[in-house]
Structure 1
Amino acid sequence: MKSYTGGCLCGNIRFTAKGLPNNPHTCSCKMCQRHSGAFTQIWVEFERDNVIWDGPGGTPKMWRSSDYSSRSFCEKCGSTLGAIDDEPVIALVLGVFDSPNRKELRPQSHSYVSKKPKWWRVCVESST
């Protein structure tokens, strides 16, 4: 079974995600923009049971952001880590992975294209 590791800027929050990632995608919704401070956020989803919070800080802090999800972050350094949904899904942001260039983590779609600034170009290369 494949595994992926990552963590926050200060190393307080660390994770190991196992199995194949689901729905790697980018998003430009206003919530993602404000959560990340960037025009576009990159997300990779894993089943909740396949994500282990194994750093000294344990589970990240959470802020309830919608009816179905909470945004997660490190309480020490403030790093954005992802979103923990009420459903059995944890969506991690690609920037916190130790090896974000792995082929299976590459975004396959983009959400909320209409919310990106008109001058911002979203680039998704073909897989060929």
Structure 2
Amino acid sequence: MSASTYHGGCLCGRIRFQARGPAENPHTCSCKYCQRHTGSLTASWVEFPLERVSWTGPGGAPSTFRSSDYSSRAFCASCGSSLGAIDDAPTIALLLGCFDDNQHPALMPTAHSYSDERPTWWHVGDRP
């Protein structure tokens, strides 16, 4: 994976980030936490160590909600955009839709977590 620098942020632009690669563990997830956090049946994520992510927008760091005993969900308090999850690991998993350039090959998901929690009619990618 590339050692690129990635940029992104929320819908209103108050929360912006810079993540220094390489991007790690690009994946999709259909667990109930991801579904409720994003309002989607499947979330697309990529992970970075905490020390390689900087919050650069005028809003500073995102607001968080403690969603489990190991992770908090990050969002913009102004526009409500979901940005990712900040794990105790310390890892930050950023949602791919938040990236300015989500077409970068290093961000392409290579695995799907909790596929058994998606509806049987929902298919991710080209495979059933």
CA offset digits 1:58-90 (Å, max 9, x no partner): 000000000010000000000000000111200
Q: Identity over aligned residues, as a percent?
A: 58
Alignment correspondent of 1:108: 110
Deviation of 1:124 after TM superposition, in Å, equals 5.6
Alignment correspondent of 2:91: 89
How far apart are the structure 2 equivalents of 1:124 and 1:99? 22
User: How many aligned positions are there?
Assistant: 125
Deviation of 1:54 after TM superposition, in Å, equals 0.4
* Correspondence 1:47 to 2:49: yes
| Structure 2 residues without counterparts, runs of 5 or longer | none
How far apart are the structure 2 equivalents of 1:115 and 1:85? 21
Alignment correspondent of 1:58: 60
Secondary structure of 1:46's counterpart equals strand
Match of 1:3 among 2, 5, 18: 5
How far apart are the structure 1 equivalents of 2:18 and 2:124? 29
Alignment correspondent of 2:70: 68
Distance 1:68 1:11, change over 3 A: same
Distance 1:97 1:39, change over 3 A: same
In structure 2, give the amino acid aligned to 1:45.
E
Alignment correspondent of 2:17: 15
How far apart are the structure 2 equivalents of 1:28 and 1:89? 19
